[in-house]
Amino acid sequence: MPVVDKSGKILGVVSEADLLAKQGARARDIMSAKIFTVREDAPVEDIASLMTAEKIKRVLVVGEKELAGIVSRADIVRAIALGDYMPLSTPVYDL
């Protein structure tokens, strides 16, 4: 869950792991301050690469000035499974 201030600025994220492993009375006490964001027009390949490189499960999507949503690994898998997404580059294997 994103944590934002009164003006909508993203301060951090509270993950399931944060809820289970940390103690605190407020979101700011347990949130992860290191956040990863992408723009709304970011290619799926770039999002998947970021998730893999940073070993994260979700990425915040930002618009011009506001939080627009969240993309999870499950969202990417679902899009591929439903045929809503076609990779721009398909690996070629030398058999």
Strands, E, within the chain: which ranges? 2-4, 10-13, 37-39, 58-62, 67-72
pLDDT by 10s per residue, the chain, length 95: 999 999 888 999 999 889 999 999 999 999 999 999 999 999 888 999 999 999 999 999 998 878 999 999 999 888 878 877 666 555 544 44
* Helix (H) and strand (E) counts in the chain: 4, 5
pTM above 0.75, yes or no: yes
Per-domain residue ranges of the chain: 1-34, 36-89
Hey, what CATH class is 36-89 in? alpha beta
Shortest CA distance to 65 belongs to which of 9, 18, 3, 6?
A: 9
| Angle subtended at Cα 83 by Cα 1 and Cα 86, rounded to the nearest 5 degrees | 90
